[in-house]
């Protein structure tokens, strides 16, 4: 029988027994789980006189704060490895890569800012910044196993916009050098409004810098401005040039509270183009035929790009008219092209380059479309094949009312941004799709001679859609847009439909004016073509002058 003990003494005795006897006996198999630690993140603030990046300074960034960036970089660290993370201030593709050196000073690898870079545990140096390697910021860092070392910025970022004295964004060259010793960090070039999001970000040590016109010496008293960069801050600078002389006339840090181009996730644009052609044809009987053709092309664009979401919408109207006049005959106007098209595609990024998408589209026209047979009468048939009306020769009749046929499309799937940079953009999409076509009061020809017309049937189908969009920037003046879109009804390759295949070569001439050559292939299978011996594809080539505005 146990002697009577106070409760406190008994409790202490039980705890002491558990502490001394609770561990695994040494002869049992297994590993003590207490030896393991979960992966951790440690923030490294380099020991330099510059201050640590604060949350207020990070608010100048267009990128998320450091904690959010680390959480978004979901790369797993392999067993026995560690990682480093250098945050970005803007976009990954706009900032220079970082270089990692071992203790001997040899390059181990290079990587992107805003991403975790796996390394074996050990001591390293990282080089961060723009310009020559000897001028880049060198930071020592120790990589520990199962930990991510986050480097707190001691450098500054700078985005430089070049403008004319009228306030327009222009492509103009400049040079950046450090004021205290005249060291040049390199040459740069601004971008016009439509490529505002492609302006590269300068990553530089904190200090005062001189931005000068190309070719100016350090001792020049004109054509330069000075800007101070602070640790951890992104500074936006405007440099103003005289478009007539090319002189740098003013500039500085953008004022707080002023609207910042490119800070809104929305970008809008307008393109208005067209061409005019005229001619006279003289036949063997000396009969003359005059013609005048006018083509108009209007495009309204909207783009949304912020954090996880990216959206692109476009409304396009295209019309072409031709006037014919022949001696002793009445003047005749023909509508040779009439189309209205709307497309909107939205993507939710899982990573910077991939994510699910949803898209909608609509195609139709806005004017009556008539037909006239000059050599024969035309029979209008019903669905049973019976003649319900006969149209006399050389008499016009309506085959398509405004708004019909109306084609609608919906799709969901996977979107991949294959490339995104200052020289090329490539976007691919593939997924499940649905298509509908309403043919209210629409007549389609039933034979090759176009002497029989019947009502168009409503069409419904589903299948697979694939889209590829490519844009190339060649120099500062030439842009090439390529769009291809294919639909496979019921996933049958033999029934494929080319919904869009176009090439647009755009050459910037002067401010807000460009010369465009456009090629488009039209697949008449989409229109429900019933006569198999007619050409399926129609080719359209257009040369036009276009005004463009982006805001």
pLDDT digits (tens, 9 = 90+) for 137-168: 999 999 998 888 999 999 999 999 998 887 77
pLDDT of residue 178: 93
Q: Is the pLDDT of residue 109 over 50?
A: yes
Check whether the bond before 405 is cis (ω within 30° of 0).
yes
- The Cα 499–Cα 124 span in angstroms is 53
CA distance 34 to 222: 68
Query: Greater confidence, 278 or 523?
Result: 523
Q: What's the confidence (pLDDT) of residue 151?
A: 92
Radius of gyration, alpha carbons of the chain: 34
Which pLDDT does position 376 carry in this prediction? Answer: 92
> Could you tell me if residue 21 is inside a domain?
no
**CATH number of 490's domain:** 2.40.160
Bridge partners of 326? 289
Q: Residue 262: its pLDDT value, please?
A: 44
Residue 13 DSSP SS3:
helix
- In this structure, the answer to whether residues 356 and 446 fall within a common structural domain is yes
- Burial class of 89 by CB neighbour count within 10 A (0 to 12, 13 to 18, 19+): buried
Strands 332-348 and 309-326: antiparallel
Distance between CA 129 and CA 121 in Å, rounded? 24
Highest mean pLDDT among 279-288, 365-374, 541-550: 365-374
Residue with tokens 């993507």: 347
The most confident of 65-79, 91-105, 274-288, by mean pLDDT: 91-105
pLDDT at 456: 87
Residue 444 has pLDDT above 90, yes or no: no
For the segment 166-206, what is each residue's pLDDT rounded down to a tens digit? Answer: 777 888 889 999 999 999 999 998 887 667 777 889 999 99
Same domain as 232, residue 213: yes
Confidence at residue 159, expressed as pLDDT on a 0 to 100 scale: 92
Q: In a 3-state reduction of DSSP, which class is residue 114?
A: coil
Q: Are residues 235 and 359 in the same domain?
A: no
Q: Considering only CA atoms, which of 476, 424, 549 is closest in space to residue 162?
A: 476
Residues 80 and 161 occupy one common structural domain: no
| Distance from C-alpha of 70 to C-alpha of 112, rounded to nearest angstrom | 13
* CA 500 to each of CA 54, 412, 484, 496: distance values in angstroms, whole numbers, following the listed order: 50, 18, 5, 12
In angstroms, rounded to a whole number, what is the distance separating the alpha carbons of residues 429 and 6? Answer: 76
Residues 216 and 121 in one domain: no
In a domain, 264, yes or no: no
Domain assignment of residue 413, yes or no: yes
Q: Domain range holding 165?
A: 156-253
| CB-CB contact of 521 with 498 (8 Å) | yes
79 and 202 together in one domain: no
Q: How far apart are CA 467 and CA 498, in angstroms?
A: 10
Does one domain contain both 166 and 149? no
Question: And the tokens for 298?
Answer: 């209007």
Q: What is the pLDDT of residues 398-427, one digit of tens each?
A: 999 999 999 999 999 999 988 766 678 888
Give the number of domains in the chain. 3
Across the range 273-296, mean pLDDT stands at: 74
The CATH number covering residue 226 comes to 2.60.40.10
Query: How far apart are the C-alpha atoms of 352 and 95, rounded to whole Å?
Result: 15
CA nearest neighbour of 396 among 375, 370, 369, 368? 370
CB 426 within 8 A of CB 438: no
Give the model's pLDDT for residue 34. 34
Q: What is the pLDDT of residue 19?
A: 38
pLDDT greater than 70 at residue 449: yes
- Residues 69 and 88: their CA atoms lie apart, in Å, by 8
* Residue 358, in any domain of the structure: yes
CB atoms within 10 A of CB 273: 22
Last residue in a domain, options 199, 231, 253: 253
Looking at the structure, do residues 69 and 92 belong to the same domain, yes or no?
yes
Q: Which residues contact 308 (CB under 8 A, 6 or more apart)?
A: 348, 349, 355
Q: For position 47, what pLDDT does the model report?
A: 45
Residue 545 vs residues 277, 360, 377, 511: alpha-carbon distances, Å: 13, 30, 41, 13
Average pLDDT value for residue range 371-394: 90
Question: Token digits for 161?
Answer: 């916009």
With a cut of 90, say whether residue 217 has pLDDT above it. no
Joined tokens for residue 29:
């198999």
Residue 302 domain flag: no
Residue 322 lies in a domain: no
Tokens of 527: 């229109």
Question: Average pLDDT, stretch 377-406?
Answer: 91
Task: Show Cβ contacts of residue 384 under 8 Å, excluding neighbours closer than 6 positions.
Answer: none
pLDDT digits (tens, 9 = 90+) for 496-508: 999 999 999 988 8
Average pLDDT over residues 350-355: 81
DSSP secondary structure letter of residue 297: E
- Provide the percentage of residues in the chain whose pLDDT is more than 90: 40
Asked if the model's pLDDT at residue 549 lies above 50, the reply is yes
Structure token pair of residue 320: 């072409």
User: Looking at the structure, do residues 350 and 203 belong to the same domain, yes or no?
Assistant: no
Q: Poorest-confidence range of 39-43, 376-380, 390-394, 465-469?
A: 39-43
Higher pLDDT, 55 or 353: 353
Does the pLDDT value for residue 8 go beyond 50? no
- The one-character DSSP state at 16 is H
Instruction: Give the pLDDT confidence of 64-94 residue by residue, as tens digits.
Output: 888 888 888 766 778 889 999 999 998 888 8
**Cβ count near 151 (within 10 Å):** 23
Flag whether pLDDT at 396 surpasses 80. Answer: yes
Q: What is the pTM of this model?
A: 0.60
CB 191, CB 198: distance < 8 Å: yes
Is residue 270 pLDDT above 60, yes or no? yes
CB 88 within 8 A of CB 157: no
Q: Within 10 A of 114 (CB to CB), how many other CB atoms are there?
A: 21
- pLDDT band for 384, please (50, 70, 90 cuts): confident
State residue 533's pLDDT score. Answer: 65
Q: Is the pLDDT of residue 536 over 80?
A: yes
Tell me, yes or no, whether 389 and 414 share the same domain.
Answer: yes
270 belongs to a structural domain: no
Residue 494 lies in a domain: yes
DSSP string of 193-244? Answer: GGGGGGPPPEEEESEEEEEEETT--TT-SSSEEEEEE-TT-EEEEEEEE-TT
CATH of the domain at 104: 2.60.40.1120
The answer on 187 and 68 residing in a single domain is no
Closest CA to 521 of 505, 544, 498, 542: 498
Record the tokens describing residue 334, joined without a space. Answer: 């023909």
Block residue for tokens 């490339």: 419
b/e string for 49-74 if b means 16 or more Cβ within 10 A?
A: ebeebeeebbebbbbbebeebbeebe
Using the 3D structure, point to which of 253, 270, 300 is the last residue of a domain.
253
Do the beta carbons of residue 193 and residue 476 sit within 8 Å?
no
* Residues 405 and 444 reside in one and the same domain: yes
Among candidate residues 219, 236, 253, the one where a domain is terminated: 253
Q: In what order do the strands lie in the sheet with 137-143?
A: 107-111, 98-101, 122-128, 137-143
Which segment of 96-110, 234-248, 318-332 scores lowest on mean pLDDT?
318-332
**At residue 257, does pLDDT exceed 50?**
no
Could you tell me which residue, 37 or 406, shows the higher pLDDT? 406
């Amino acid at each position: 029988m146990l002697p009577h003990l106070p409760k406190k003494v008994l409790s202490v005795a039980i705890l002491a027994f558990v502490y001394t006897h609770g561990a695994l006996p040494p002869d049992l198999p297994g590993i003590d789980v207490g030896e393991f630690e979960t992966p951790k993140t440690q923030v490294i603030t380099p020991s330099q006189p510059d201050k640590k990046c604060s949350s207020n300074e990070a608010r100048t960034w267009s990128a998320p704060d450091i904690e959010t960036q680390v959480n978004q970089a979901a790369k797993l660290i392999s067993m026995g490895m560690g990682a480093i993370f250098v945050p970005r201030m803007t976009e990954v593709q706009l900032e220079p890569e970082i270089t990692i050196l071992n203790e001997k000073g040899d390059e181990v690898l290079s990587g992107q800012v805003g991403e975790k870079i796996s390394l074996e545990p050990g001591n390293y140096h990282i080089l961060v910044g723009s310009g020559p390697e000897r001028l880049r910021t060198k930071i020592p860092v120790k990589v520990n196993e199962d930990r991510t070392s986050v480097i707190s910025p001691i450098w500054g970022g700078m985005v430089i916009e070049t403008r004319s004295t009228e306030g327009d964004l222009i492509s103009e060259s400049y040079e950046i050098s450090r004021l205290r010793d005249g060291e040049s960090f390199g040459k740069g070039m601004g971008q016009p409004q439509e490529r505002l999001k492609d302006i590269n970000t300068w990553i530089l040590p904190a200090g005062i810098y001189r931005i000068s016109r190309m070719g100016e010496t350090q001792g020049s008293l004109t054509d330069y401005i000075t800007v101070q960069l602070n640790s951890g801050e992104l500074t936006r600078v405007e440099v103003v040039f005289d478009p007539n002389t090319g002189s740098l006339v003013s500039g500085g840090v953008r004022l707080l509270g002023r609207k910042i181009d490119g800070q809104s996730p929305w970008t809008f644009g307008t393109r208005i183009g067209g061409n005019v052609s005229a001619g006279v044809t003289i036949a063997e009987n000396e009969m003359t035929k005059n013609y005048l053709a006018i083509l108009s092309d209007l495009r309204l664009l909207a783009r949304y790009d912020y954090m996880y979401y990216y959206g692109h919408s476009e409304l396009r109207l295209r019309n072409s008219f031709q006037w014919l006049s022949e001696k002793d005959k009445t003047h005749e106007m023909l509508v040779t092209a009439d189309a209205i098209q709307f497309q909107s595609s939205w993507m939710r990024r899982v990573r910077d380059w991939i994510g699910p998408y949803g898209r909608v589209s609509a195609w139709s026209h806005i004017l009556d479309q008539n037909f006239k047979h000059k050599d024969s009468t035309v029979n209008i048939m019903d669905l049973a094949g019976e003649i319900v009306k006969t149209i006399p020769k050389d008499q016009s009749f309506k085959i398509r009312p405004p708004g019909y046929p109306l084609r609608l499309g919906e799709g969901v799937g996977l979107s991949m941004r294959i490339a995104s940079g200052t020289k090329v953009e490539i976007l691919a999409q593939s997924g499940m799709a649905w298509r509908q076509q309403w043919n209210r009061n629409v007549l389609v020809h039933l034979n090759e001679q176009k002497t029989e017309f019947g009502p168009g049937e409503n069409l419904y189908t589903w299948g697979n859609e694939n889209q590829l969009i490519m844009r190339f920037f060649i120099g500062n003046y030439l842009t090439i847009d390529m769009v291809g879109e294919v639909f496979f009804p019921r996933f049958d390759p033999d029934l494929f439909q080319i919904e869009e295949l176009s090439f647009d070569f755009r050459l910037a001439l002067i401010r807000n004016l460009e010369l465009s050559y456009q090629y488009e292939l039209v697949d008449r299978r989409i229109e429900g073509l019933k006569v198999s011996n007619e050409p399926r594809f129609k080719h359209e080539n257009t040369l036009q002058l276009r005004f463009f505005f982006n805001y």
